[in-house]
Amino acid sequence: MTSSGRFQVLRASTRPATAWLNGGGVTREVAGFPAGARLDAFDWRVSLADVASAGPFSPFPGIDRVITLVEGAGMALTVDGAERLVDAPFRPFAFSGDATTDCRLLAGPVVDFNVMTRRGRVEATVDLSTAPAAVGVPDGSTALLVCLAGTATLDGVELARYDAALIDGSGTYELQPDGTTAVVTFRTAAA
């Protein structure tokens, strides 16, 4: 992790892979809050997952989830009995962590981008940027930018594929993606 003075850079090369209990893949946590919180205690958590085989998703009661296909042909998710194809890259799909969810791979392994927030505490928006943009971070919000394809530059700092920038202060930041960059904004949930 390095700091540009305005944000922290989280390099993909420093992330450990954690094997799933069911053996169906591995997860690499990009960032979470509070830092180092267990899976039952985070307010928000962002990760990249290598999904190697079909199977059930772990339940996350009280968690809202957004999943985005990054690599591979995609998957069919059955969420509380209703099938949804997640087969187009860079199209976020939101669902409840309370739902019984099963995954069927369409044609081999995939990599997906996961955003999870604790319902009633934190809300998130997930936007995908492919063109230069001024990224505004409002007071009281946190933003996480993750380069999902190609490279990106944020205020002159280069991000390689899967590198991230954590912005924990309000302001405007210049994003220059050469590919696709996820811009995730976290804010306290409305009461």
pTM for the full predicted model: 0.93
Query: Which domain-ending residue is among 91, 118, 145?
Result: 118
Work out the average pLDDT over 147-169.
96
| Shared domain check, 95 and 32 | yes
| Shared domain check, 113 and 156 | no
Beta-bridge partner residues of 97: none
| Shared domain check, 181 and 158 | yes
User: What pLDDT does 40 receive?
Assistant: 87
Q: What is the pLDDT of residues 105-122, one digit of tens each?
A: 999 999 999 999 999 999
| Shared domain check, 92 and 180 | no
Q: What is the DSSP string of 62-92?
A: TEEEEEEEEESS-EEEEETTEEEEE-STT--
Residue 65 or residue 36, greater confidence = 65
User: What pLDDT does 24 receive?
Assistant: 76
Q: Is the pLDDT of residue 2 over 60?
A: no
User: What pLDDT does 153 receive?
Assistant: 97
Residue 89 or residue 170, greater confidence = 89
Q: What is the pLDDT of residues 88-99, one digit of tens each?
A: 999 999 999 999
| Shared domain check, 111 and 48 | yes
| Shared domain check, 138 and 81 | no
| Shared domain check, 63 and 101 | yes
As a whole number of angstroms, the distance between CA 6 and CA 155 comes to 9
| Shared domain check, 77 and 128 | no
Burial 20-44 (b: 16+ CB within 10 A, else e): beeebbbbbbbbbbeeeeeeeebbb
User: What pLDDT does 122 receive?
Assistant: 96
Q: What is the pLDDT of residues 24-56, one digit of tens each?
A: 788 999 999 998 898 889 999 999 999 998 988
List the CATH number of the domain containing 107.
Answer: 2.60.120.10
Q: Which residue has the tokens 């997640």?
A: 86
Domain that holds residue 24: 16-118
As a whole number of angstroms, the distance between CA 176 and CA 179 comes to 9
| Shared domain check, 147 and 58 | no
Beta-bridge partner residues of 48: 28, 113
Nearest to 63 by CA among 81, 46, 84: 46
| Shared domain check, 91 and 153 | no
Query: Which domain-ending residue is among 73, 92, 118?
Result: 118
Banded pLDDT at 3 (limits 50, 70, 90): very low
Give me the number of domains the chain comprises. 2
| Shared domain check, 138 and 166 | yes
